[in-house]
Structure 1
Amino acid sequence: MTRGRLVALLALAALPPMIEETVLVAVRLHAARGLAPQVTAVWPYDSYHDLRWLLVYHDSWATFLLGLVVVTVARGLLSAELTALAWPAEVPRPSWGWLVRRNLQVAALATVVISPWAALSVAFSAVALSWYLFASLGPMLVLAPFLARAGVVATWWRGLPTVELFGWSALNFLVLTLAGALISTTPGWGTVGVAGLAGVANGLLWRRTVAAAVQPARVRLPRFPVAPIAIVLTILGAISAQSLIGIAASGGQGMWRPPILTQRLPERVPYAVIVVGGHDSSWDGVPPADPRVERFSYRGLDAHGRPVPYPPEATHQSLDKSAALLAAHVAALHHRTKRPVALLGQSEGSMVARTYLERLPRGPVSAVVMFSPLVQAGRTYYPPPGHEGWGVAAGWELRAMFWLANLPRPVKDDPDEPFVRSVLIDAPFYRNRILCPVAGVRMIAFLPTVSAAEAPPGEYSRVPVYQQPAFHGGLLGRRSVEDRVIAFLAGERVDQTRREYQLLQRLGAAWQAPPLVLSLNPLWSATREADPAQTGRVCEPR
């Protein structure tokens, strides 16, 4: 490769990320700055970048279809030019026309294959559940070497990609992750330079990737159609992932009985406690060991003011309805025990408790413990069926995926279930205030370190937090954590932060869907909430 072609390759790879980063800094879209280096990444990270922007930022079917054509053609042309410039000098290069046709085809194929996973990324930003984010990244790593071959090799669909191709594409993932983290750390316009350097790294990786594709050391299974099988499995994986995510998100809760339900409270705890289970939890009516502790029921109270058993489906109701049921339960428990009330919520249960504090008079509630709350939920949107609006195509793609995934499941999940729609409707509140203090209420959030990937870089909480290595829903039930809960309920200070939390938060920045700016959505624009996506801060007035 001549020096001139190398300079042109690196310049072309650096310029688009710098342009996107300049725009993001200019419009103050703080939470999306880490995405810019992906504009010139190798396949399929580039298409994953395009589709996440498109699925969030379209407000009708017409704009979606037009945007789909534009980004597909632009991606094919840009990739063709990068491929041409990266082509090794010692190998005859196909004609420019062949490269354009081939890369347009790859761009269209990548759109079909990557789109379901990009839609999962939108779902992640809607409900702030890290399992959706992690599920959407695995296929990128698997598909990268196959699609890298597709743009340069006529028979790309046969044979296994070489170890070199796997290695260079995995290195690009690492570079993009680190670049997103560095951009999230760099203040002001300095991020434009970081994006440019990341683009230069992309150019060098295009050079290595194209060389590894056209000059493979050895292709294993040269006659076997490996790529089509991998692509079909990837598409099917997007559907089956729904069931796995549902199981992981609920922690396999079922009859969820943490120690606070099975053991008596120490006398030094002055509260009566209501324990609010998470999404898809259930309760068979077995009472807690301590009469001062009760399970919240998503179906309400019986004629004697006692919570009734509930099935998993009951947790799918709206947060406002659950908060109203919680208010009745708080009043009944306080009347019976004459004690102040503490709320302990897990995942969705945390959201119910926080909604109750916001929407209704807090009454006798004096303490709230939130386990695995959904951090900055409501960052994306899609309208209900029969309506157009921001994210309409993403909504229908999610409905199709969930419909297929629900076929074998006894408890159906639905992207339009009242719980999800209540988060989408009141997104300004859940995005900005879920971890904000409430006057007269002692609060603490127990955050598993995995939740670091759920929040965009920046401030995420103004209440005390206790951070511990764990997955979503995996803290409550540990003896050390249970002791901290009892100590908090007894009036002690138990907050604890971990140094790696902010690092993990920044490392996840490159792979989140861009948030929809609050002021763009008519449903949200009349609120008085500030937008953390633009300010990098929470609990701020507009």
Structure 2
Amino acid sequence: MRPTHRRLLALLGITAAVPLAEVLVLVLVGFLSAEGLAPQSTAVWPYDSYHDMRWLLVYHNTWLLFGSGLLGLIALRGVLTTAIVSLAWPANSPRPPRRALLRRNVGVAAFGAVLVLPFAAYAVAASVLSLSWFLFASLIPMLILAPFLQRMSVGRSLWRGLPSAELVGWSLLDFAVITVGGGLVWTTPEVWTPLVTAAVGALNGLLWRQTVHAAVLQKRVRWPRMPVVPIVVVLALAVPLASQVLSQPGNQANTFTPPIFTRPLPPQVPYAVILLAGHDSAYDGRPAADPNVQLFSYVGLDPHGHPLPYRPNATHRSLESSAQLLAARVEAVHRRTGRPIALIAQSEGVVVALTYLRNRPGSPVHALAMFSPLTRAGRTYYPPPDASTGWGLAAGWLLRVMFQVTKIGNRASSTPDEPFVRSLLDGAPFYRFQILCPIPGVRVVAFLPTVAAAEAPPGQKIRIPVVEVPTFHAGIIGRMSANAVLISFLAGAEVNHPRREFGPLQKLGDAWLAPALAITLNPVWRPTAQPGPPFTMARFCHQ
């Protein structure tokens, strides 16, 4: 066998063996939802560092464990990347001494780990809140950075100048392979999962080979004196911060005016309706067009029983306190109208409604329509700022620093420790497993935007009717088509409109989510967690 062929086989063997070892452990412990991450363990940089940092940010509970884990991962990643780059080096091009290549790749691993930590922290936030824009805010910088950073493993001065079009193309293919490979690993039966994982890992080896060749053999570098990489790094770090600023509420006085608020109810609807707006919504106190429709206020009622106006920061309160306000609103509307109550809720309003229904079985509420629910919130954790230990300790502080920057000039902006977020963190056993579940005595339907497929890992069998709509989070309730389905539901019809692409998109997103924290591992969750193995999916709807 020729030396070139032996090196290629060794390269494929290494890039296949590492994810194979990871997925075997995941299969052994039953951690099915994290299997899609395994192929990323030998992906082309910086995706491999992104894989490492997400595991580290979720699975550490002291600063010592975080620091030692960070150093250990940097060392292991540096050694592994050195071996991979050495084996992928073009045969006809002089290769640096292995010691120099090792120093360079350990440095690159350190730089990569520190660089992707903020993006990995946003992936943790996405798992806490089940909001896809956090996930996109972490992935977009990775796509931007990849072609610029992938040259650094092979050349010290390659932080200057623009990457070649070939390198950009291979970088985009890397992302596609990781995405599709993660979906395939999750989809295949467990008996085939190790084999598919190894195959995707071997494909990583081929991508490493082509990427290294493209970086080493690049003949012409545009802007050779321009320090492009530092500039791109700064711009990439600005993406999640800018997205956080842009997501802050505007100056609208009333942000929640769906058709059911602005038009009379059809006579075939037997309910009185209470509308619950989402996070950072605002309400100016105007009444609905129909006296049997009222909007829930996050600050309560005036002396005459009318909902008070509120500003966006009022929605930051805890879910338990919001549920208590909702209880008073439900009783008042039920007494006044004599009708059963239907709750129409969006985003945060959904979890407020579910918290109310969990605590008050047999209530006057007989119907619940959930728009853009937080489908699988509470999958990760970080402790309060005054805690010295706790799972996700460093992730919490990374998020606090990033949110503090976006808070400049906006005191009402969201924070990682506002009462609403802490309610999701502390009540994770309920909010992770019971969102899309039947409720005894209550007719339920969930209106799911397509983007929700990226907000939660696959595995949950949805046991309630769903209406899946190709749009973004909170983009459904104002649509006339969705309003027609909603009115049909309120009139007593059975509605169920799933879409074929929802399931495949959910599987494709699995590779980019943060791994879930084992529900029985966190002492904060143990008192309310259902019994069972740490990673079991049987907790969905108390199956």
TM (norm. structure 1) is 0.97
In structure 2, distance between residues paired with 1:253 and 1:401: 28
In structure 1, distance between residues paired with 2:350 and 2:36: 29
Query: What is the match of residue 482 of structure 1?
Result: 483
- Is the contact between residue 530 and residue 541 of structure 1 (CA under 8 Å) also seen in structure 2? no
Relative to structure 1, is the Cα distance of residues 446 and 538 closer, same or farther in structure 2, using a 3 angstrom cutoff? farther
Query: What is the match of residue 89 of structure 2?
Result: 87
Query: What is the match of residue 213 of structure 1?
Result: 215
Residue 251 of structure 1 deviates from its aligned partner by: 13
- Is the contact between residue 403 and residue 415 of structure 2 (CA under 8 Å) also seen in structure 1? yes
* Pairing partner for 1:175 from 165, 174, 177: 177
Q: Size of the alignment, in residue pairs?
A: 540
- Is the contact between residue 436 and residue 461 of structure 1 (CA under 8 Å) also seen in structure 2? yes
Residue 186 of structure 1 deviates from its aligned partner by: 0.9
* Pairing partner for 1:14 from 13, 16, 32: 16
- Is the contact between residue 530 and residue 540 of structure 1 (CA under 8 Å) also seen in structure 2? no
Residue 246 of structure 1 deviates from its aligned partner by: 4.3
In structure 2, distance between residues paired with 1:531 and 1:36: 24
The one-letter code of the counterpart of 1:268 is Q
Relative to structure 1, is the Cα distance of residues 210 and 254 closer, same or farther in structure 2, using a 3 angstrom cutoff? farther
Query: What is the match of residue 39 of structure 1?
Result: 41
- Is the contact between residue 137 and residue 239 of structure 2 (CA under 8 Å) also seen in structure 1? no
Query: What is the match of residue 356 of structure 1?
Result: 356
Residue 113 of structure 1 deviates from its aligned partner by: 1.4
The one-letter code of the counterpart of 1:163 is A
In structure 1, distance between residues paired with 2:206 and 2:197: 14
- Cα offsets for 1:245-291 (capped at 9, x unmatched): 446xx998952211111000001100000000000001000111000
Residue 213 of structure 1 deviates from its aligned partner by: 0.4
Query: What is the match of residue 496 of structure 2?
Result: 495
In structure 2, distance between residues paired with 1:530 and 1:494: 34
Relative to structure 1, is the Cα distance of residues 229 and 13 closer, same or farther in structure 2, using a 3 angstrom cutoff? same
Relative to structure 1, is the Cα distance of residues 375 and 324 closer, same or farther in structure 2, using a 3 angstrom cutoff? same
- Is the contact between residue 30 and residue 533 of structure 1 (CA under 8 Å) also seen in structure 2? no
- Is the contact between residue 17 and residue 36 of structure 1 (CA under 8 Å) also seen in structure 2? yes
After the TM superposition, which segments of 4 or more aligned residues of structure 1 sit over 4 Å from their partners?
Answer: 250-254, 530-533
- Is the contact between residue 25 and residue 189 of structure 1 (CA under 8 Å) also seen in structure 2? no
Unaligned runs of 5+ in 2: none
Relative to structure 1, is the Cα distance of residues 540 and 367 closer, same or farther in structure 2, using a 3 angstrom cutoff? closer
In structure 1, distance between residues paired with 2:168 and 2:46: 13
Query: What is the match of residue 535 of structure 2?
Result: 534
Point out the more displaced range, 214-223 or 513-522. Answer: 214-223
Aligned Cα root-mean-square deviation (Å):
1.7
Query: What is the match of residue 26 of structure 2?
Result: 24
The one-letter code of the counterpart of 1:195 is T
Relative to structure 1, is the Cα distance of residues 528 and 513 closer, same or farther in structure 2, using a 3 angstrom cutoff? closer
Residue 537 of structure 1 deviates from its aligned partner by: 5.0
Residue 124 of structure 1 deviates from its aligned partner by: 0.3
**SS at 1:275's partner residue?**
strand
- Is the contact between residue 520 and residue 529 of structure 2 (CA under 8 Å) also seen in structure 1? no
* Pairing partner for 1:71 from 65, 70, 73: 73
Matches within 5 A, 1:435-514: 435-514=436-515
- Cα offsets for 1:147-177 (capped at 9, x unmatched): 2100101211110001111111111111111
Unaligned runs of 5+ in 1: none
In structure 2, distance between residues paired with 1:288 and 1:215: 67
Relative to structure 1, is the Cα distance of residues 460 and 305 closer, same or farther in structure 2, using a 3 angstrom cutoff? farther
What is the percentage of aligned positions where both structures have the same residue?
54
- Is the contact between residue 252 and residue 282 of structure 2 (CA under 8 Å) also seen in structure 1? no
Query: What is the match of residue 322 of structure 2?
Result: 322
Query: What is the match of residue 263 of structure 1?
Result: 263
In structure 1, distance between residues paired with 2:179 and 2:246: 25
Residue 301 of structure 1 deviates from its aligned partner by: 1.2
**SS at 2:238's partner residue?**
helix
Matches within 5 A, 1:242-391: 242-246=244-248, 255-387=255-387, 388-391=389-392
The one-letter code of the counterpart of 1:211 is H
* Pairing partner for 1:189 from 162, 178, 191: 191
In structure 2, distance between residues paired with 1:53 and 1:403: 24
- Is the contact between residue 357 and residue 363 of structure 2 (CA under 8 Å) also seen in structure 1? no
TM (norm. structure 2) is 0.97
Residue 189 of structure 1 deviates from its aligned partner by: 3.1
Query: What is the match of residue 167 of structure 2?
Result: 165
**SS at 1:526's partner residue?**
helix
Residue 360 of structure 1 deviates from its aligned partner by: 2.2
Relative to structure 1, is the Cα distance of residues 114 and 399 closer, same or farther in structure 2, using a 3 angstrom cutoff? same
In structure 1, distance between residues paired with 2:193 and 2:507: 14
Relative to structure 1, is the Cα distance of residues 514 and 386 closer, same or farther in structure 2, using a 3 angstrom cutoff? same
Query: What is the match of residue 140 of structure 1?
Result: 142
Residue 361 of structure 1 deviates from its aligned partner by: 3.8
- Is the contact between residue 373 and residue 447 of structure 1 (CA under 8 Å) also seen in structure 2? yes
- Is the contact between residue 323 and residue 352 of structure 1 (CA under 8 Å) also seen in structure 2? yes
- Cα offsets for 1:57-98 (capped at 9, x unmatched): 001111000000000111111001100000001000000011
Relative to structure 1, is the Cα distance of residues 356 and 494 closer, same or farther in structure 2, using a 3 angstrom cutoff? same
Point out the more displaced range, 369-378 or 356-365. Answer: 356-365
**SS at 2:540's partner residue?**
coil
The one-letter code of the counterpart of 1:138 is I
Query: What is the match of residue 399 of structure 2?
Result: 398
Matches within 5 A, 1:215-254: 215-246=217-248
- Is the contact between residue 346 and residue 370 of structure 1 (CA under 8 Å) also seen in structure 2? yes
**SS at 2:208's partner residue?**
helix
- Is the contact between residue 298 and residue 314 of structure 2 (CA under 8 Å) also seen in structure 1? yes
Query: What is the match of residue 199 of structure 1?
Result: 201
Residue 389 of structure 1 deviates from its aligned partner by: 0.4
In structure 1, distance between residues paired with 2:246 and 2:54: 22
In structure 2, distance between residues paired with 1:447 and 1:267: 27
The one-letter code of the counterpart of 1:183 is V
In structure 2, distance between residues paired with 1:404 and 1:242: 10
Residue 235 of structure 1 deviates from its aligned partner by: 1.9
**SS at 1:467's partner residue?**
strand
In structure 2, distance between residues paired with 1:116 and 1:528: 30
Matches within 5 A, 1:94-173: 94-173=96-175
- Is the contact between residue 61 and residue 392 of structure 1 (CA under 8 Å) also seen in structure 2? yes
In structure 1, distance between residues paired with 2:239 and 2:488: 44
Relative to structure 1, is the Cα distance of residues 456 and 480 closer, same or farther in structure 2, using a 3 angstrom cutoff? same
Relative to structure 1, is the Cα distance of residues 76 and 21 closer, same or farther in structure 2, using a 3 angstrom cutoff? same
Relative to structure 1, is the Cα distance of residues 382 and 252 closer, same or farther in structure 2, using a 3 angstrom cutoff? farther
Query: What is the match of residue 430 of structure 1?
Result: 431
Residue 436 of structure 1 deviates from its aligned partner by: 1.1
**SS at 1:39's partner residue?**
helix
**SS at 1:368's partner residue?**
strand
